[in-house]
């Protein structure tokens, strides 16, 4: 019973309680992450036999065995099903509890979920970059009618094209899809076909109206590819006004429709936050106009706009929607976002990782070509997945700045636990809010009514740390000279 409880805790709380894992618990964690299922009795018996043969009871002397086990698990239909569900969750798509394999089409002759599952399958099976989920122009459909009527399959996809793409029979593992049961259509060069974003499931989940004018879809692109939630400023203002009224004694009955309408009328379009989001959303949404009814063959120009690691605006022209998606995959912020997603999926959302350690993982991710399968396998073998802590020597300046910034966590999230470009962007905002360019003379945070106010010495300790390049470990600054200048120069700081 005690062992069973340990197994359950190891699965439910990765990194928090799963310290010093034994091989049996490690096997359990791997199986749960990759398939959502417990290891089979045979797998436990095989592990026990290997441990006995090697006279070994620790993970470190069984690493080659676990590497082989991971590779085997990642070639099973159960893993492809679990991976597809995780991608669906990332896109906030409604999905069944499980996607059964082998894939079988519905009575209408095709299955939309199968098309998306096969995109995930190809990305992992062929060890392709995670970018393939977003930029792929190969569309695959399954169903009994597909091979007999490829034109019908194309029509169901609702993709217009100047030329009819050649249909090819998809070659897949028998456990994934029955033999000769799917066709692939290569729309290379199409201005709009782009992975998950041009599937019926995505386009119906993020429906379009004359009012939102593509912004809902554009916001989903920002969220999935750049980890920018794009929360509407209007909703924030409305929610805050409502919370304030309730805190001051108002009842639910007094929160009338008229009050809400007044908030909307007075606030919408007049907020600085509104302009900051619409300045990014609208140019991207313009490229998605050809996705109004299916996927058109016509292109619509737009722009990719976002804020970089120093909170400075970035602006890239885009010839069409596919060109814009490709440009996003070339940004450092995109790399950080995808690595963060994979880390949270495999290692766990509740696992604290040192920013420098995340930078090391990110560097390896980029060195490996952002390959999804390879990255997942390495995360499963990482110390963090095993519940081990990777420690670093922290500079004195970082400790002093951290002591000051810890006071902010009462109202803000622990921003020093963010990583990569996200951490740099956070530091840029801190520099602005504390007015580090003028040693805190006109700081905006904390607000004047707050019980805590930093002294000048405390403000200077944060400034000193950033001037040194905001090192998180000794001898390794996070910021380069140009980034420091942008954060601290009064003529540049935002």
344 found inside a domain = no
Confidence (pLDDT) at 238: 56
pLDDT single digits (tens) 347-373: 988 787 877 888 889 999 999 999 999
Higher pLDDT, 388 or 382: 382
* CB-CB contact of 194 with 325 (8 Å): yes
> Is there a single domain that holds both residue 61 and residue 102?
no
147: burial class by Cβ within 10 Å (0-12, 13-18, 19+)? middle
Say how far apart CA 403 and CA 276 lie, in whole Å.
Answer: 32
8 and 67 share one domain = yes
Give the residue among 118, 120, 115, 113 at the shortest CA–CA distance from 99: 113
CA distance 323 to 326: 5
Residue 122 lies in a domain: yes
Q: What percent of the chain has pLDDT over 90?
A: 32
Poorest-confidence range of 58-62, 222-226, 416-420? 416-420
- pLDDT number for residue 491: 58
Q: Residue 293 above 90 pLDDT?
A: no
Same domain, 248 and 142: no
Select the more confidently predicted residue: 178 or 430.
430
| 342 close to 349: Cβ distance less than 8 angstroms | no
- Last residue of a domain, which of 74, 91, 124? 74
- Model pLDDT, residue 243: 66
State the Cα angle at 242 between 236 and 244, rounded to 5°. Answer: 100
pLDDT (0 to 100) of residue 67: 95
Domain count, the chain: 4
Segments forming the whole domain that contains residue 449: 396-488
Average of per-residue pLDDT values in the chain: 80
In a domain, 385, yes or no: no
User: Do strands 313-318 and 302-307 pair parallel, antiparallel, or not at all (unpaired)?
Assistant: antiparallel
Asked if residue 371 is part of any domain, the answer here is no
Q: Which of 280, 308, 327 is the last residue of a domain?
A: 327
The radius of gyration of the chain's CA atoms, rounded to the nearest angstrom, is: 26
Question: 299, 327, 355 — which closes off a domain?
Answer: 327
Q: Say what the pLDDT of residue 168 is.
A: 76
Q: Within a domain: residue 412?
A: yes
What confidence score (pLDDT) does residue 395 get? 85
pLDDT given for residue 8 in this prediction: 43
Of the given ranges (50-54, 146-150, 210-214, 422-426), which has the lowest mean pLDDT?
A: 146-150
**DSSP run (H or E) holding 67:** helix 63-73
In a domain, 158, yes or no: yes
For residue 7, being part of any structural domain is answered with yes
Kindly state whether residues 22 and 94 are assigned to the same domain.
no
> Per mean pLDDT, which of 58-62, 151-155, 302-306 is the most reliable?
302-306
Q: What is the pLDDT of residue 107?
A: 41
- 87 and 189, same structural domain? yes
| 293 or 246, greater pLDDT | 293
The pLDDT score that the predictor gives to residue 12 is: 41
């Amino acid at each position: 019973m005690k062992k069973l409880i340990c197994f359950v805790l190891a699965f439910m709380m990765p990194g928090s309680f799963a310290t010093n894992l034994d091989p049996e618990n490690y096997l359990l964690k791997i199986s749960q992450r990759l398939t959502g299922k417990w290891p089979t009795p045979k797998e436990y018996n095989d592990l026990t036999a290997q441990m006995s043969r090697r006279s070994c009871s620790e993970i470190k002397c069984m690493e080659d065995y676990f590497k082989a086990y991971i590779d085997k698990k990642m070639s099973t239909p159960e893993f492809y099903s679990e991976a597809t569900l995780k991608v669906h969750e990332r896109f906030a798509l409604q999905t069944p509890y499980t996607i059964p394999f082998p894939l079988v089409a519905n009575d209408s002759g095709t299955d939309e979920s199968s098309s998306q599952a096969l995109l995930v399958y190809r990305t992992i099976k062929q060890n392709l970059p995670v970018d393939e989920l977003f930029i792929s122009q190969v569309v695959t459909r399954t169903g009994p009618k597909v091979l007999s009527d490829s034109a019908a399959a194309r029509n169901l996809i609702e993709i217009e094209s100047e030329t009819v793409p050649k249909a090819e029979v998809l070659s897949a593992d028998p456990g994934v899809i029955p033999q000769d049961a799917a066709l692939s259509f290569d729309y290379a060069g199409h201005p709009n076909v782009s992975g998950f974003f041009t599937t019926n499931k995505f386009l119906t989940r993020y429906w379009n109206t004359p009012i939102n004018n593509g912004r809902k879809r554009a916001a989903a692109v920002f969220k999935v590819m750049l980890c920018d939630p794009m929360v509407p400023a209007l909703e924030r203002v409305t929610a805050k006004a409502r919370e304030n009224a309730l805190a001051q004694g108002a009842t639910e009955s007094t929160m009338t429709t008229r009050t809400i309408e007044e908030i909307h009328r007075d606030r919408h379009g007049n907020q600085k936050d509104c302009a900051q989001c619409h300045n990014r959303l609208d140019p991207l949404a313009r490229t998605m106009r050809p996705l109004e009814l299916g996927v058109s063959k016509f292109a619509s120009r737009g722009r990719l706009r976002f804020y970089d690691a120093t909170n400075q605006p970035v602006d890239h022209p885009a010839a069409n929607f596919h060109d814009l998606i490709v440009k996003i995959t070339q940004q450092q912020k995109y790399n950080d976002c995808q690595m963060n997603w994979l880390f949270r999926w495999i290692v766990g959302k509740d696992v604290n990782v040192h920013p420098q350690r995340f930078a090391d993982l990110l560097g390896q991710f980029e060195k490996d070509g952002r390959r999804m399968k390879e990255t997942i396998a390495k995360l499963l073998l990482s110390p963090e997945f095993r519940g081990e802590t990777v420690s670093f020597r922290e500079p004195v300046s970082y400790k002093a700045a951290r002591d000051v910034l810890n006071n902010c966590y009462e109202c803000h999230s622990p921003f020093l636990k963010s990583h990569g470009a996200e951490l740099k962007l956070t530091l840029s905002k801190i520099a602005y809010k504390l007015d580090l360019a003028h040693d805190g003379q006109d700081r905006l945070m904390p607000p004047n009514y707050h019980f805590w106010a930093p002294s000048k010495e405390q403000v200077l300790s944060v400034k000193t740390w950033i001037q040194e390049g905001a090192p998180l470990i000794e001898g390794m600054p996070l910021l380069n000279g140009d980034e420091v200048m942008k954060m601290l120069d009064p003529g540049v700081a935002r």
